[in-house]
């Protein structure tokens, strides 16, 4: 019986580690929940306004784990596909979103600038910003 | 030529000043809402009767945005140097004039509506949206993109876009004036009304374009010189229309695209007629592109068209290979197999985006 309890406990502990990280897209502005397609369009600069608010999308740096997850789950594009995309957008006069060095800097920017949106780990959420999209890795 | 050197000297010194610059990204000028970029293209074409060397498409781009406004300008040397060799004779042409390829200001009203005024690339089909060599899949353009509609428009443009689970877009083009620097537009026109509807879901995009334009007497050729319409033996890589009559022309183009990380399938079929009858009963292509790696691409394009104006019909296949050591650098080779073997051609090109 003791052995069974130990196995269950170990499995529960392991399952905690195995739980997928949850990430969130946050803003300080009066923006309602976004669809995945709207979010994708904003980060690809196909869309620049939501509810008459000019949106400023923020990225984390290229090698950041959350950014890689965002590219995979939201943009559904590989780094080489994104590179191709932004080359053509350069010719069409569009720039990629600005990159920030940390989740803290994203939170600070989002709090101060109307229309700014950015993605962070859900554990870093506080009551100064609100969530407009969630996804799990 | 001095102007070219000065322009690119300025661009290169700006690029060198920006430590974070990567090729193909453009460069921001002094923290202003102003970005600079450019591109170059060189080409070689071989047919049974002629060899052609060309340095063309040397261009500078400038663009930026502020609040609801954005702007873009593109100036270009179209055919800086062209040499044709035929029967032991050589003909060299230099066009050192700078042309305005694009010049417009956009105003975005909200998430659905935007408007544009100026000279812009006609948003018709897929291929015509990226008309520069370095961004194209092959050195040559499909015939349907060159003979059905005006490649650029000078006037107003407005669009409606709706993003939900899908993307729906309506484009409206209005021109009721002369072109800005229209020498290299494939049709010389002072009136163009066009409508486009596109629908995208997942990796599929479908598009329908219809429109009307009036063709003025045109004088364009691919080397920047005036040649008689009848002398053109083929469509070349840029279509040349020359006629002394003003014509009202109506067009329709249907386009479809599927794209994933490895493959891209692209197809466009167009039709054009005038008030007097058919001018182009059909011009169509189907293209498949396979990315072996991000650097190596293989392309197969099948084309067919019938042109009543030139009384010409052709079916042909293009086999292409593109090597991109970096995405903004393209080495391309293609071979075209035409119905008439004399039209077969080899094309090689090198192009770079800054």
Domains and CATH numbers, chain A: 21-136 (3.40.190.10)
Q: What are phi and psi of A74, to 5 degrees?
A: -100, -55
Residues of B in contact with A35 (CB under 8 A): 163-165
**C-alpha span between B281 and A60 (Å, rounded):** 52
Q: Which of B111, B123, B169, B293 to mutate to test the interface with A (most CBs of A within 10 A)?
A: B111
Of A41, A54, A84, the CB nearest to B327: A84
How much is the ipTM here?
Answer: 0.88
**C-alpha span between B317 and B142 (Å, rounded):** 11
- β-partners of residue A23 are A121, A135
**Sites in chain B below the pLDDT cut of 70:** 1-19, 217-245
pLDDT at B122: 97
B20 touching chain A per CB within 8 A:
no
Instruction: Evaluate the CA torsion angle B247, B248, B254, B260 in order and state its sign.
Output: positive
- Look over chain A and give the mean of its residue pLDDT values, rounded to a whole number: 89
pLDDT at B232: 40
Question: Scanning every residue of chain B, which has its alpha carbon at the shortest distance from the alpha carbon of A77?
Answer: B261
Query: Would you put residue B226 in left (φ > 0), alpha (ψ -120 to 50) or beta?
Result: beta
Q: Which of B299, B303, B308 is nearest to B274 (CA)?
A: B308
pLDDT, one tens digit per residue, over B307-341 is: 998 899 999 999 999 999 999 999 999 999 999 99
* Pairing label, strands B204-215, B189-201: antiparallel
DSSP strands (E only) in B139-221: 152-163, 167-175, 189-201, 204-215
Hey, are the CB atoms on B25 and A86 less than 8 Å from each other?
yes
Whether the predicted model's global pTM rises above the 0.80 cut: yes
CA B177-B181-B186 angle, to 5 degrees, is 85
B315 touching chain A per CB within 8 A:
no
Residue B55 Cα to chain centre, angstroms = 16
Of A17 and B106, more confident: B106
pLDDT band, very low/low/confident/very high, at A11 (cuts 50, 70, 90): low
**C-alpha span between B9 and B36 (Å, rounded):** 13
pLDDT at A104 over 90: yes
Of B261, B327, B353, the CB nearest to A78: B261
What mean pLDDT comes out for the span A51-55? Answer: 91
Which residues are CB-neighbours of B245 under 8 A, at least 6 positions away?
B217
Contact between A27 and A129 (Cβ < 8 Å) = yes
Of B26, B70, B163, the CB nearest to A90: B26
Hey, are the CB atoms on A50 and B111 less than 8 Å from each other?
yes
**C-alpha span between B264 and B276 (Å, rounded):** 38
Which residues are CB-neighbours of A11 under 8 A, at least 6 positions away?
none
Hey, are the CB atoms on B111 and A84 less than 8 Å from each other?
no
Hey, are the CB atoms on A86 and B61 less than 8 Å from each other?
no
Q: Chain B: give the shortest CA distance to residue A127, in Å.
A: 28
**C-alpha span between B55 and B52 (Å, rounded):** 10
Hey, are the CB atoms on B135 and A37 less than 8 Å from each other?
no
pLDDT at B7: 63
Hey, are the CB atoms on A88 and B327 less than 8 Å from each other?
no
Contact between A113 and A29 (Cβ < 8 Å) = no
Question: b/e per residue, B93-127, with b = 16+ CB within 10 A?
Answer: eebeebbbbbbbebebeebeebebbbbbbbbbbbb
pLDDT at B17: 61
Give the CA distances from residue B281 to residues B114, B276, B313, in Å, rounded to whole numbers and listed in that order. Answer: 34, 13, 10
pLDDT, one tens digit per residue, over B71-128 is: 999 999 988 999 999 988 999 998 888 999 999 999 999 999 999 999 999 999 999 9
- β-partners of residue B51 are B46, B85
Low-confidence winner among A49-53, A66-70, A101-105 (lowest mean pLDDT): A49-53
B132 touching chain A per CB within 8 A:
yes
């Amino acid at each position: 019986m003791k052995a069974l309890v130990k196995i269950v406990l170990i499995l529960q502990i392991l399952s905690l580690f195995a739980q997928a990280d949850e990430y969130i897209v946050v803003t300080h502005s009066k923006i309602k929940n976004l669809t995945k397609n709207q979010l994708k369009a904003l980060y690809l600069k196909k869309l620049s306004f939501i509810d008459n608010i000019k949106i400023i999308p923020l990225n984390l740096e290229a090698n950041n784990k959350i950014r890689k997850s965002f590219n995979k789950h939201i943009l559904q594009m590989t780094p080489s596909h994104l590179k191709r995309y932004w080359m053509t957008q350069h010719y069409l006069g569009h720039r990629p979103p600005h990159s920030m060095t940390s989740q803290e800097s994203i939170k600070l920017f989002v709090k101060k600038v109307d229309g700014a949106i950015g993605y962070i780990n859900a554990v870093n959420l506080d009551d100064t910003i609100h969530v407009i999209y969630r996804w799990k890795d | 030529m001095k102007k070219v050197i000065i322009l690119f000297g300025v661009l290169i010194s700006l690029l060198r000043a920006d430590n974070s610059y990567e090729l193909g990204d453009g460069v921001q000028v002094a923290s202003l809402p102003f970005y600079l970029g450019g591109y170059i293209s060189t080409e070689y074409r071989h047919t049974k009767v002629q060899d052609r060397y060309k340095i063309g498409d040397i261009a500078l781009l400038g663009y930026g945005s502020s609040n609801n406004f954005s702007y873009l300008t593109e100036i270009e040397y179209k055919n800086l140097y062209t040499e044709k060799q035929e029967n032991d004779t050589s003909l060299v042409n230099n066009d050192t004039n700078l042309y305005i390829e694009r010049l417009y200001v956009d105003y975005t009203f909200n998430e659905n509506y935007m408007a544009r005024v100026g000279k812009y690339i006609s948003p018709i089909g897929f291929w015509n949206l990226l008309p520069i060599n370095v961004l194209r899949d092959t050195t040559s353009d499909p015939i349907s993109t060159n003979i059905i509609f005006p490649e650029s428009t000078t006037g107003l443009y407005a669009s409606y876009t709706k993003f939900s689970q899908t993307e729906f877009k309506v484009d409206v083009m209005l021109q009721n004036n002369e072109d800005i620097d229209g020498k290299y537009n494939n049709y010389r026109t002072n009136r163009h009304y066009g409508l486009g509807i596109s629908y995208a879901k997942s990796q599929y995009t479908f598009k329908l374009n219809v429109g009307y334009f009036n063709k003025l007497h045109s004088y364009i050729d691919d080397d920047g010189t005036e040649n008689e319409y009848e002398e053109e033996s083929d469509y070349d890589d840029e279509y040349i229309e020359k006629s002394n009559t003003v014509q009202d022309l109506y067009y329709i183009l249907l386009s479809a695209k599927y794209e994933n990380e490895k493959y891209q399938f692209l197809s466009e079929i167009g039709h054009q007629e005038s008030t007097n009858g058919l001018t182009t009963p059909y011009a169509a292509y189907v293209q498949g592109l396979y990315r072996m790696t991000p650097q190596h691409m293989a392309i197969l394009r099948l084309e067919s068209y019938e042109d009543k104006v030139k009384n010409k019909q052709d079916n042909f296949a293009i086999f292409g290979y593109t090597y991109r050591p970096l995405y903004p650098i393209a080495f391309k080779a293609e071979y075209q197999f035409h119905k008439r073997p004399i039209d077969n051609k080899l094309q090689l090109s090198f192009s770079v985006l800054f």
